[in-house]
A = this chain, B = another copy of it.
Amino acid sequence: MFTIGVLASGKGSNLGAIINHVKSGFLKIKIGVVISDNPDAFALEIARANGIEARYIEPGRYRTILDPEQEKKYVSCLREHGVELVCLAGFMRIIKKPFFDAFEGRIINIHPSLLPSFPGLEAWKQAIDHGVKFSGCTVHFVDQGIDTGPIILQAVVPVLEDDTPERLHLRIQEKEHIIYPLAIKLISEQKIRIEKRRVLIDEY
């Protein structure tokens, strides 16, 4: 069965959504392993509670990237578990070239804005501060830029007059939990083609 690995640093709400869609039968995939750079990530608990292999792998001495030696362990662990697609789900570190090369074209991420608007951290807060009337979320392939890879799916969320960053973030997450599992389904069923940087989807 098509096997994914999930990398998460935090509470794992997207992991939870993916698991629910596996249970419902919408996703016919296996979650081979969940890895975190944070030993206290709730994502690891969610994985264990659902009988999924959960690993904490030390990130090393840096804050925004994995220590190169440690990054190798991430790659080995994913390979050991037969991972065909790496899904970043609130993973707070940038993937460097060796990891990227090991899974080129097979790493995806979910970002809480309508990219290319608001890449980087706290995109929902950026959206509020900028005063946009619509934001949303984006599933994209990971390339070596920050939130710059080809876009697989997006969903739109209106920004309300009285929105706070927190409220907007919650409404964006509801859409994330729909489009991230859908993107994984499309990839697992080989329904996606890339032309230049446009991602085209066969009928589903």
Kindly specify which of A29-37, A47-55, A97-105, A196-204 makes contact with the partner chain: A196-204
Q: Which of A10-18, A38-46, A80-88, A153-161 contacts B (4 or more CB under 8 A)?
A: A153-161
**Could you tell me the distance between the alpha carbons of A150 and B133 in the complex, rounded to whole angstroms?**
11
A129-166 interface with B by 8 A CB criterion: 129-134, 136, 150-151, 153-154, 156, 161
Instruction: Say yes or no for A116: interface residue by CB 8 A criterion.
Output: yes
**Could you pull out 28 A-B pairs where Cβ atoms are within 8 angstroms?**
A114-B114, A114-B132, A114-B134, A115-B117, A116-B118, A116-B130, A116-B132, A128-B198, A129-B196, A129-B197, A129-B198, A130-B151, A130-B197, A131-B151, A131-B196, A131-B197, A131-B198, A131-B199, A132-B154, A133-B151, A133-B153, A133-B154, A134-B136, A134-B154, A134-B156, A156-B156, A161-B200, A161-B201
